[in-house]
Chains A and B, each alone.
Chain A
Amino acid sequence: MISNLINRKILTLLKVQYSNMLEYRVEIALWAISGIIPFFMLNIWTNNNLNESINISDIELSRYFLCAFFVRQFSVVWVVFSFEEDSLLGKVSPYLIQPLNPFFRYFAQHLAEQITRFPFAIIIAFFFFIFNPESLWIPNLGILLLSIISTFFSFLIQFLIQSIVACLCFWTEKASSIERLLFIPTLFLSGLLAPVVSFPEYIKSWIYLTPFPYMIDFPANLLSGNSTNVSGGISMQILWIVLLFPLFKKIWSEGTKKYTAMGS
């Protein structure tokens, strides 16, 4: 009964957000295009034969960067910006009265956006294969399924981290600058610009303990069929989700207690 209700709520939310997102197709296409940095990086790597020193062939590297592009497309999170705007404009108040955590709304928004984004990402991949036909490959079903799961976990990790930052809006009003600060290590350490195997030893020794390599590098390696520790990676992803979720619950309940509506 209860699960049925939750299901219906989530389905309705998803449907509403999906039709909302479909209205902004051009905008989402532009977002998809703005994620093509990994391809420029690939160009630098292969054009200067930088991959020889880390023992990755050209084809493996191009698959890696294509997968990094895909993983990034389906794990982009912007909840802090939406929440900040809603909380500055006082829109959070009506959401708080509803018998549903407002973050479900944002969650549905992100999922709906990913569905809308899917065709654009496929088109970009299609062009990539036209220019690099030798790197075409078809991952087997098991790997594909596993990498979809790990991409979703990567999205969950980033969604939880950003939701925790978003809750800081209850204290500071402008939490998006904290998110911009956190984005810098995400950009450079997640493997979006360079695969983690190429990092110097003094970074590699501790980076696998942080959540960063599990955001892009691990799912991308998995999907591209490069050698990677599958069970270790997925369990680290689950560990981070399990660690972050109670933290989010805690900060959310503290924050809502502190929340005062506009004009109080």
Chain B
Amino acid sequence: MNTRKYLNVYKNFLHTSLASELEYKTNILIDLLTAILSLIGSIFLLSIFFQSNSSIGGWEFKQALIIQGIYTILNGITNTWFNPNLTEIVKHIREGTLDFVLLKPIDSQFFISLKKITPSGFLEIMLGVCLLIYCIKINQIDLNLGFVILSLITIICSIFILYSLWFFISTTTIWFVKTWNATEVLRSFLYIGRFPLNSFSFSLRIFFSVFIPIAFITTIPSEVFLGISQLWKILLEVLVAIVFLFTSRKFWLFALKFYTSASS
């Protein structure tokens, strides 16, 4: 009963936000072009790194392309769902419209995280999938059921970790009000998810596994793709994803206690 209600509401969200986004058709076209150019640019950068070296941090060029593919998919998901919705939280808090969200007979986190959608991010997801399929071919990975299930599990966990990070940072605006660019800081840190973690120095590797778990977001799924990941790493990623999702939920509920409407 309850899930059906949420599904119904989500269908309406999709309908309204698609309708309003499709008003700007040339915009979507330009965004598509941007996504393609951005992928070309990062492959170009990678090719500069591999100009004279055959491997970086133990990754060959064709293997590093897998990381690019997964990064592109995750970036597409960020642009489609996380970016349009979670940057809106700041606006809600500044203008006091969060009241209207809280008053609705629906979970506020659900409403705030899924209200909007940017369709141009879909192409980025598709580009990433195409790149991954190409990588499967050039790396001669044999597709079997176990491989598909494991890679799907790790990618879904990555999405959850990424979502929790975004949501966590956006929630802090309840205290700081005007820090809408805190997500920009996160974005610039996530940028290094395009490269294998092993190519960084030891201290940065520790930083990016413990504080901002970029290691879990792109490197582990790529290792699963290559079939070189150990089981404990996959289990750890699942655990990290659950912990992140759970704490971000708790943190939101905790933060709401401190929300004082616009003029109070």
Q: With A26-B179, A174-B24, A184-B41 known to touch, is A44 a contact of B49 (CB < 8 Å)?
A: yes
Nearest A-chain residue to B202, judged by Cβ: A47
Q: How far is the CA of A49 from the CA of B93 in the complex (A)?
A: 47
CA of A187 to CA of B45 in the docked complex: distance in angstroms? 10
Q: Is the CB of B41 within 8 A of A185?
A: yes
Residue of B nearest to A45 (CB): B49
Q: State whether the Cβ of A24 lies closer than 8 Å to any Cβ in chain B.
A: yes
Contact (Cβ within 8 A) B48 A194: yes
Determine which residue in B57, B176, B199 has the highest number of CB atoms from chain A within 10 A of its CB, and name it.
B199
* A34 close to chain B: CB less than 8 A: yes
A40 and B197 CA atoms in complex are apart in Å by: 11
**Prevailing SS type, chain B contact patch:** helix
- Provide the residues of chain A in CB contact with B199, threshold 8 Å: 44, 47-48
- Picked from B31, B48, B184, B200, the residue with its CB within 8 Å of the CB of A47 is B200
Residues of B within 8 A of A50 (CB): 49, 52-53, 56
Chain A at the B interface: SS class: helix
Segment from A102-110, A154-162, A175-183 that makes contact with B = A175-183
The interface size of chain A toward B, counting residues with CB under 8 Å, comes to 35
- Residue in chain A with minimal CB distance to B51: A53
Given the known interface contacts A33-B185, A53-B51, the answer about A193 and B34 at a Cβ–Cβ threshold of 8 Å is no
Knowing A27-B178, A185-B41 touch, does A198 contact B200 (C-beta < 8 A)?
no
Count of residues in B whose CB is under 8 Å from the partner chain: 38
Contacts of B139 in A (CB 8 A): none
B133 near A: Cβ within 8 Å?
Answer: no
Top 8 closest pairs, chain A to chain B, by CB: A53-B52, A188-B41, A34-B188, A34-B184, A184-B37, A177-B30, A34-B185, A181-B34
Apart from A34-B181, A49-B53, A184-B34: 19 A-B pairs, beta carbons within 8 A: A27-B178, A30-B182, A31-B181, A34-B187, A34-B188, A36-B188, A37-B188, A43-B201, A47-B201, A48-B49, A50-B52, A52-B52, A173-B24, A177-B30, A180-B34, A181-B30, A181-B37, A184-B37, A194-B48
Query: Which B residues have a C-beta under 8 Å from some C-beta of A?
Result: 24, 26-27, 30-31, 33-34, 37-38, 41-42, 44-45, 47-49, 51-53, 56-57, 176, 178-182, 184-185, 187-188, 191-192, 195, 199-201, 204
